[in-house]
A and B are shown apart, each in its own frame.
Chain A
Amino acid sequence: MSYKLTDTILYVENLSVAYGDKVVIKDITFEEKNVVREGKITGQTIAFVGRSGRGKSTLFRALTGLVKPSSGRILISDVTSSMNNSAKEVKEGDVGFVDQKYTLFRNKTIHQAFMFALRKKNMKDDAKEELINHYLTTWGLEPCKNQYPCELSGGQRQRTAIIEQILSSDYYMILDEPFSGLDVGNIENVKEAFQLISSEHDLNTIIFSTHDIELAVELADSIYVIGYPMVDGKKANYGTIVKHIDMKKNGLSWNPFSADHLDVVNEIKTAMLQS
């Protein structure tokens, strides 16, 4: 499938995070560019996989600006700048973050939560209402717009948490294990949500982690394996990127799951077990 890569949308350089003396992730460097496909709006879908405790959640907290890196830097596109390919250091609120519990404000209805997410946007109230109504309708939340999180089903909660972050942040969205503990129906809901986000804007970038390698291979166009690296013949006890698979380059992106995808799954599993 033909595509071209344009501006850099995410640039992470020598990122390390430590809590006190404990180094959790170290020397993480990667770059993601905007993918453009002719005649089709396609955002970026990036997966991070790895065994438990390798630092995926810490990496996500750093990417969202929730935790300050001990060293290194994270740059994202500066969409407010008129200059081409301009970048800015990430800060709290630039990147949307949905945790695996799909946390919401317990005292806000869906509509109130969306209004709150839009409070800093330079838009008139009518335009905000219109935008909210668009999302409520497109994502099937119109009937429950006045309900509180405790009155929502699991699927409705997921969609609310995702839209809230879309409305608040610019184009970046991180989801920490969005498929964890979900039934088949809800997994399909989240997959549909991914497609909806991706089809909304070229710059929309979904970054997610999962323990389901098949799902990562099916959905992502770029996959990073986080694990403990081998240093001087010994396994280090901090996480870093041990493998990167570019699904666009190997021609598997945006294609139905096939035997070739399964080969990638096995390749990733091997890398995970070794790290």
Chain B
Amino acid sequence: MKKLFKPFEKLPSNQVTLIYVGWTALLLLFWIITASIGDKHLFPTPAQVLKGLEGLYNEGLVVHIASSLWLCIRAIFISIIISLVVSYISPIPLLQFFAKTLSKLRYLPLTGITFYLAILIESGRTMQIWVLVVFMSTYLTTSLLGMINSIPQEEFDHARTLQCNRWEVLWEVLIKGRMDYVIEIIRQNLAIVWMMLVTVESIMVASGGLGFLIKNSDKFMNHGRIVALQIIILALGLGIDFVLEKSRKIFFRYSKI
């Protein structure tokens, strides 16, 4: 028992699982109790959440989920292409400027960007995608630059001693040799897109999506639906995270990040 309170103590995995299950059960119990006592309470009861979920399902929840996922996939795809190109050319002294500048743009406020995007883009859906792209690209590029900087000099020297010219070094060490890191970086930065979903989807409600649903529920103070949607968004995010993590381990056997 003492071990449970000892800092840095390593516990068997079944004990760790038991601890997590215990805390989750306590959290659920706390929710049920606090939501059931008195007239006024912060969170809706589990029954209200289930009712909200049922309502959402009847109103086409699956279609909205698909809409949100499709939006995310398109935004992530474009962001990855932009970030990878900009990062992979960053070792070239003349072109390093682009990656460094894109990385610094992460400090720009959202409002300023949406204003200019609104002038340039006519379609609301395209606007949603590009807002996500602009933000995700800045964070992805920052992480990719960090990955490039952390490659030990020995790896570049090793390639050079094997008669690789500089372009081969770039290809072998940076691009081919770090593909698994790219998946990991996407996984870590995906949370940014997911978090911004509500904000972005509220730009144009006609496209639907989880963001639209949550905003709509918020307008009518339907707490059961709001919490149900939060749980769905969290579960979907964790699901994508899990799939990416598993894919990295399956496709890149050598990856021990």
Q: Kindly list chain A residues whose C-beta atoms are within 8 Å of the C-beta of B177.
A: 105-107
Q: Which A105-148 residues have a C-beta within 8 angstroms of B?
A: 105-107, 116-117, 120, 148
**How many residues of B sit at the interface, in one of the four size bands?**
20 to 34
A150 touches B161 (CB 8 A): no
A97 touches B161 (CB 8 A): yes
A103 touches B254 (CB 8 A): no
Write the A82-115 contact mask toward B (1 if CB under 8 angstroms, else 0): 0000000000110111010101111100000000
Verify if B163 is at the interface (C-beta below 8 Å from A): yes
Chain B minimum-CB-distance residue to A64 = B161
Chain B minimum-CB-distance residue to A173 = B161
B253 touches A148 (CB 8 A): yes
A-B pair number, CB within 8 angstroms: 59
CA distance A168 to B163 in the complex (A): 7
A107 touches B179 (CB 8 A): yes
Point out the residue from B158, B172, B252 that lies within 8 Å of A99, measured CB to CB: B158
Verify if A215 is at the interface (C-beta below 8 Å from B): no
Q: Kindly list chain A residues whose C-beta atoms are within 8 Å of the C-beta of B253.
A: 148
Given contacts A105-B172, A107-B179, contact A93 B161 (CB under 8 A): yes
A165 touches B179 (CB 8 A): no
Given contacts A105-B172, A105-B177, contact A148 B161 (CB under 8 A): no
Verify if A14 is at the interface (C-beta below 8 Å from B): no
A66 touches B162 (CB 8 A): no
Verify if B3 is at the interface (C-beta below 8 Å from A): no
Chain A minimum-CB-distance residue to B159 = A105
Verify if A169 is at the interface (C-beta below 8 Å from B): yes
Q: Kindly list chain A residues whose C-beta atoms are within 8 Å of the C-beta of B152.
A: 101, 103
Q: Give the distance to chain A from B171, nearest Cβ to Cβ, in Å.
A: 12
Write the A56-86 contact mask toward B (1 if CB under 8 angstroms, else 0): 0000010010100000000000000000000
Other A-B contacts than A99-B158, A117-B162, A148-B253, 20 sampled, CB-CB below 8 A, are A66-B157, A66-B160, A93-B161, A93-B162, A93-B164, A97-B161, A99-B157, A101-B152, A101-B154, A103-B152, A103-B155, A103-B157, A105-B173, A105-B177, A106-B254, A107-B252, A120-B163, A150-B256, A165-B162, A168-B161
Identify 20 residue pairs between A and B in the complex whose beta-carbon atoms are under 8 Å apart, listed by A's number: A61-B157, A66-B157, A66-B161, A92-B161, A93-B162, A93-B163, A93-B164, A97-B157, A97-B161, A103-B152, A103-B154, A105-B172, A105-B177, A107-B177, A107-B179, A117-B162, A151-B254, A165-B162, A168-B162, A168-B163
Q: Which 10 A-B pairs have the closest CB atoms?
A: A93-B163, A148-B254, A97-B161, A103-B158, A103-B154, A168-B162, A150-B256, A99-B154, A107-B177, A92-B160
Interface set of A (CB-CB < 8 Å, partner B): 61, 64, 66, 92-93, 95-97, 99, 101, 103-107, 116-117, 120, 148-151, 164-165, 168-169
